[in-house]
Structure 1
Amino acid sequence: MTFRRIAITLAAFCGVALAPVPAPAAEQVVTTEYGMALIGLIIGKATFDTVIDDGRFSVKGRMSSAGLGQLVSKTGGTSQVSGRVTSRGFASERYGLDYTSDGKRWTSDVRLRSGRVIDSSVSPKRSSKEKPSYVPVQRAQLSSVVDPLSGLMIRTNDAGSVCRRTLPLYDGWSRLDLKLSPKARQTVSLAGYEGEAVICNVRIEPVSGYDRKSKGLQFLRSQTIELWFAPIARPDVFVPVYVRIPTTIGPLTLQATSVSVK
């Protein structure tokens, strides 16, 4: 697990999660944009297109470095997910990530059924044979997980319950828990939406698929991430609109800037 991949994963959360839950048999295309900044300087951008049609959904996203980020680290790629819309939310069936950073390529292809991973392939692969400090993923840890794109779309009629949960995340390489707890409420405004957001404190707890000696992960485990949820499209679907991640040189922020529905 790398600190950079965790940041990209959280960026993906913000981009896709602005998709609404549709009425039956009604297709909607949601285009969302957001910016990534480090200590206030723009370093990345992303666009996500979500299509929802008759109980099915699919999302395709494009991410790239921008501004100062283009000078420091050339990063870009795509992510996608597809699955079913259920009464409880979004049930993914296939998740994928393909991105390149500083000339190194990472790819992930995960297939799921009812929250259980049935197949997974990644490149590059990691193992304890390569590095003794690596903690391998066990199959028993993949029986109830969420993917990085649809995992943070929380369906509830109780805003107070949004931050009272633990989310079991799996991206093909790593299993980690995002432990949410309530913090505050705040009004947010972006192109296409204005309203109240629920603010959660988030702690990262690695389960498997990580290097025990990773200094970046050790730092992140000791920090608290701030994650804002808002009911963008329906009052019972709360989705991320802002993330603040501490880093050793200053805060990394991921912020939704616009949402449009067609």
Structure 2
Amino acid sequence: MRQVLACVFGVLLFTTLSTTSHAKTEQVGGIYDISIAGFTVGRGTLSLVLQGSAYSAKVGMEPAGIGTLFSTGKGGAEATGWLRGSRVLPSRYTMASTAANRDFFVNLRQGSGHIRKAEVIPQFKPSKTRIKMTNRHKRNAVDPLSAAVIPVNSRSKVLDKSVCDRKLPIYDGWTRFDVELEYKTTKTVSGRGYEGAVVVCKVKWTPVAGHRPERKNVKMLAAARDMEAWFAPVGSSSRVLIPYRISIPTSTGQLLIQAERLDMVSSLNTASKTNN
């Protein structure tokens, strides 16, 4: 879960895009509060740039609140790829983080919805109980950051129940798992840089490979039925949603990741240019 959380939220850095068409650009910058049992333990920021059918995202996370007293964990990740209808087709993903005085690194090359090449540090230690990872598990899979970008087929569907009608097959470099979404309700939120409707999905987590089934946290997450993800639409014309709030049970209390501020900017590119 440490890898997943570090990949979903983090340091706000806009990537460089070279634009050569009249496509519209949507940019989102977000700051997220991360708390456990009501106590702030971290802060993350999210950057997403949509240029036509292409996307580029960067994230990171660092301790905050009482988290600065006992945690030295921090990290960041970035991903790029393409949107095809309601599908995300990543091209590359990198993640680097430090936790408990250990460094973690992932470099994925992806294509046609599959993991083509993976470089991971450190490697898991051998274990007789670990579910073996095979090439089959890397087909029809996406990285954790790209999985947080939720496209729909049309703008008219951006707040529809169908937003939650999907199963996300995620590969983080160490493990392969499924995140299945199911519609719960639609809410109206305000006061955090975004005012409007959000789609609330129930979340079911299923381990697929790379896990050790006997581990307590694996059993707890697989059995959890109170996980939720809230999604907010990007801008006024985009057909893409991003996480507004995520709630996950842990052994020390409910982990809550919630937007503290969201800033959305739209612009129309009328000439070839480079944005930094």
TM-score by length of 2: 0.82
- Measured in 2, the distance between the counterparts of 1:253 and 1:11 equals 12
Q: Give 1:153 deviation, angstroms.
A: 2.3
Which runs of no fewer than 5 residues in structure 2 stay unpaired? 14-18, 266-276
Question: Hey, what does 2:228 align to over in structure 1?
Answer: 226
Given that 2:167 and 2:180 are in contact with CA atoms closer than 8 Å, whether structure 1 keeps it comes out as yes
Query: 1:139 and 2:142 equivalent?
Result: no
Identity among equivalent positions (%) equals 30
Question: Hey, what does 1:149 align to over in structure 2?
Answer: 145
Given that 1:81 and 1:93 are in contact with CA atoms closer than 8 Å, whether structure 2 keeps it comes out as yes
Larger radius of gyration: 2
- Measured in 1, the distance between the counterparts of 2:131 and 2:87 equals 31
Query: 1:74 and 2:72 equivalent?
Result: yes
* Amino acid in the other structure paired with 1:50: L
Q: Give 1:131 deviation, angstroms.
A: 1.2
Question: Hey, what does 1:57 align to over in structure 2?
Answer: 55
My pick for the range that moved more, 82-91 or 161-170, is 82-91
SS, match of residue 219 in structure 2: helix
Q: Give 1:10 deviation, angstroms.
A: 4.7
Given that 1:190 and 1:256 are in contact with CA atoms closer than 8 Å, whether structure 2 keeps it comes out as no
Q: Give 1:235 deviation, angstroms.
A: 6.1
Question: Hey, what does 1:203 align to over in structure 2?
Answer: 204
Mark the CA change 1:61 to 1:70 in structure 2 (over 3 Å): closer, same or farther.
same
* Amino acid in the other structure paired with 2:242: V
Given that 2:202 and 2:228 are in contact with CA atoms closer than 8 Å, whether structure 1 keeps it comes out as yes
Question: Hey, what does 1:249 align to over in structure 2?
Answer: 252
- Cα deviation per residue 1:192-238 (whole Å; 9 max; x = unaligned)? 32111111111110110112222111111111211111223246323
Question: Hey, what does 2:39 align to over in structure 1?
Answer: 41
Query: 1:163 and 2:140 equivalent?
Result: no
Q: Give 1:56 deviation, angstroms.
A: 3.3
Give the count of matched residue pairs.
Answer: 251
SS, match of residue 140 in structure 2: coil
Query: 1:121 and 2:119 equivalent?
Result: yes
* Amino acid in the other structure paired with 1:135: I
Q: Give 1:190 deviation, angstroms.
A: 4.3
- Measured in 1, the distance between the counterparts of 2:204 and 2:247 equals 12
Q: Give 1:118 deviation, angstroms.
A: 0.7
Which runs of no fewer than 5 residues in structure 1 stay unpaired? 17-21
RMSD: 2.4
Q: Give 1:54 deviation, angstroms.
A: 5.3
Q: Give 1:44 deviation, angstroms.
A: 0.5
* Amino acid in the other structure paired with 1:245: I
Question: Hey, what does 1:103 align to over in structure 2?
Answer: 101
